Amino acid sequence: MKKSLFAFLLCTFGIVYGQSVINVRYNLLIGTYTTPTSKDGIWVYEFNTLTGDFIYRSKTKDIESPSYLDISKDGRFVYSVNEVKTGGVSSFTFNSLKGELTFINRVSSGGDGPCYVTVDDKNKFVFAGNYGSGSLCAIPLKQDGSLGNEIQIIKQEESSIDKEIHSGSHVHSTVLSPDNRFLFTPNLGTDRIYIYSFDNKKPKEPLSPFNPSFISVKPGSGPRHFTFHPEGKYAYLIQEKGCAITVFGYIDGKLTEIQSVTMLSPDYTGKVGAADIHISSDGMFLYGSNRGDANEIVIYSIGPDGRLTYTGRQPALGKTPRNFIISPSGTFLLVANQGSNEVVIFKRDVKSGFLTPTDKRIKVERPVCLKFVPM
């Protein structure tokens, strides 16, 4: 009887390998766009990383468009943008055992239409990018996870852009370097990645321009999301308008371009809208989402030198694949199809990188962002 109970507990909560335990059950948090009649903004599900099964747990109420989310390193706090014209950032405590969020407070993001939020590793600051007004902000955090009011706001002025394609400065993401020392902010409107030094010991102005303060990419390409290789030696930028991925060598805040690859097939003629980018935890594969008429996930293998080689593409099985995430086990990839109101679950082959439909879907209105938190 005792052996049966032990086996059940291992199956339910984790798998033991030698001295370590690999979690099986995770909380899956889904950020969404709300409407005037429906403000159930953040949904929480239990996700099984062995089977791909899911169970509804909870949702927030009366939170305006908590579209993009980030989680404190200890999993205790959740931060969301409020992607509306009078932009804001909201904080929540998170009970991972119950899967419940409790609202703490909301402050202004210092601009319009914030679309991305990041919390630093020490839980000292939250950074948000304001797409509408082309600015970013650094918001201090208190020990209880609440957001402070002394906000540093940095405006990224319109400069060196193709005015026929872009209408102005649009900060699209705020990404910290692996060592938590630098902040990178791709700007879709200026075709630049701005670089800032970050010092969490400066409560009023933690960000200062790095030297060089930015790196430019192809005019009209529209820089969007940005990620680092697990080894920290390479960084990757997905470009919304150009529908391409640029590879950079990285060392101590400095980026050096080494490759750029298209996400489009040679015969493709439809609308494009590249969106999100992620790398598998083993550093072997990179994935990028393309909206427009393509509605697909494009797959690349990553070489020892950081360069990309096209591997394949998988239809998203829905409309507008905005954001996606690889499960902590590496065996599933979940796609938030904003336009068809569902999160589609794919099985992922860790050796080939290929994706296979599972016929499992989470129905939720206008999903934007997916995050896993251990239970």
Q: Over the chain, what is the mean pLDDT? A: 93
Helix (H, G, I), strand (E, B) or coil at 63: coil
pLDDT at position 168: 87
- Distance between CA atoms of 163 and 187, rounded to whole angstroms? 14
Cβ neighbours around 150 below 10 Å, total: 11
**pLDDT tens readout for residues 259-317:** 999 999 999 999 999 999 999 999 999 999 999 999 999 999 999 999 999 999 999 99
pLDDT at position 306: 98
**pLDDT tens readout for residues 91-141:** 999 999 999 999 999 999 999 999 999 999 999 999 999 999 999 999 999
Contact 229, 235 (CB under 8 A): yes
**pLDDT tens readout for residues 54-72:** 999 999 999 999 999 999 9
Cβ neighbours around 125 below 10 Å, total: 25
The CA distances from residue 13 to 21, 47, 74, 130, in Å, are 9, 12, 19, 39
pLDDT at position 68: 98
The CA distances from residue 186 to 123, 130, 234, 286, in Å, are 22, 11, 16, 19
Kindly state the average pLDDT of the residues 69-95. Answer: 96
The CATH number of the structural domain formed by 63-216 is 2.130.10.10
Kindly state the average pLDDT of the residues 144-160. Answer: 89
pTM of structure: 0.93
pLDDT at position 37: 80
